[in-house]
Structure 1
Amino acid sequence: MDPTTEFFEGLNYRPPDPLLREIRGTIRFEFESDVDVDTWLLVFSAGSVSATESDRPADCTVRTDREFFNRVAAGEANVFAALLRNRVTVEGNLILYKYLLHLVPGPPGAHEPREWVRRGHRR
């Protein structure tokens, strides 16, 4: 299984996130390859996030190649920087796109800041 598929399937097992409780909407991902386009639908609803392979319309559409998103899903590329560098195109509700920063993993070796503070590593 590739990192993109693992990322989307893993979202279905995330517990509800209080930081996302006010977010509602859908993001359609279109991953281009040499022969066709794979689509995933991400649904935000009251703190929960779910993902399915679907080509239904959404509030926001993200297009990129699967190879690049594999890097994002592995924490090797940043979704915000990808937008600025035109590695992805986004149409529709751009606000929903910014919440991807909360879902994708950080760089390898990075720590989750809230957990780090809970363990007493304050500055």
Structure 2
Amino acid sequence: MGEAIEQFFAALPTSAQAVVRGPVSGTLQINLTTDNRTEHWLVELGPGSARVSRGPGEADATWYGSHDLFERLISGRDDGMAAMIRNESTFTGKVSLFLAFRRFFPAPPGTRDPRETAREEVGRPS
């Protein structure tokens, strides 16, 4: 298990207040594979909250991907939806859980919020 992944999951409860908005609730199981081994993480999401535990369990949805892919996602070097389209990961269950969970992934390096760019353009003299 990579240290970056451990740190990512350890930080989820703290950052959930800002990340998990709206009426989302349920448990998402994250299955990370390396060679012939699978690690399981359970993330229970609720409005403004996240609880994390290790191991398989009852879940409303399950995300399957490689350990390497997950490290790329948590570093902003890859996108969760793009990985599913490329068939590098799969998902079953309650889609709203994955859509909420992917907000924990950082934007790619150098990415700017389009709203910030528009505010700068409005403030510039013509």
Q: What's the TM-score, normalizing by structure 2?
A: 0.81
Conserved? CA contact 1:41–1:53, under 8 Å: yes
Which structure dedicates a bigger proportion of its chain to helix? Answer: 2
Q: Per-residue CA shift, 1:7-66, capped at 9, x if unaligned?
A: 111112225137524111111011111241101111111211222213112000011110
Distance 1:24 1:13 in 2: 17
Conserved? CA contact 2:20–2:49, under 8 Å: no
Distance 1:109 1:86 in 2: 26
Partner of 1:47: 48
Change in CA separation of 1:54 and 1:20 when aligned onto 2, cut-off 3 Å: farther
- Compare 82-91 and 19-28 and name the one that shifted more: 19-28
Larger Rg: 2
Change in CA separation of 1:6 and 1:82 when aligned onto 2, cut-off 3 Å: same
Letter in 1 for 2:73: V
Q: What's the TM-score, normalizing by structure 1?
A: 0.83
Alignment RMSD: 2.2
Check if 1:25 corresponds to 2:26. yes
Check if 1:103 corresponds to 2:104. yes
Change in CA separation of 1:42 and 1:31 when aligned onto 2, cut-off 3 Å: same
Deviation at 1:100, TM superposition (A): 2.6
Conserved? CA contact 1:23–1:47, under 8 Å: no
Identity rate of aligned residues, in percent?
24
Distance 2:17 2:62 in 1: 23
Conserved? CA contact 1:29–1:61, under 8 Å: yes
Regions of 4+ moved over 3 Å: 111-114, 120-123
Distance 2:7 2:32 in 1: 15
Aligned length: 120
Letter in 1 for 2:67: R
Distance 1:113 1:26 in 2: 31
Change in CA separation of 1:19 and 1:42 when aligned onto 2, cut-off 3 Å: closer
Distance 1:122 1:9 in 2: 38
Q: Per-residue CA shift, 1:75-97, capped at 9, x if unaligned?
A: 10000111111111101112211
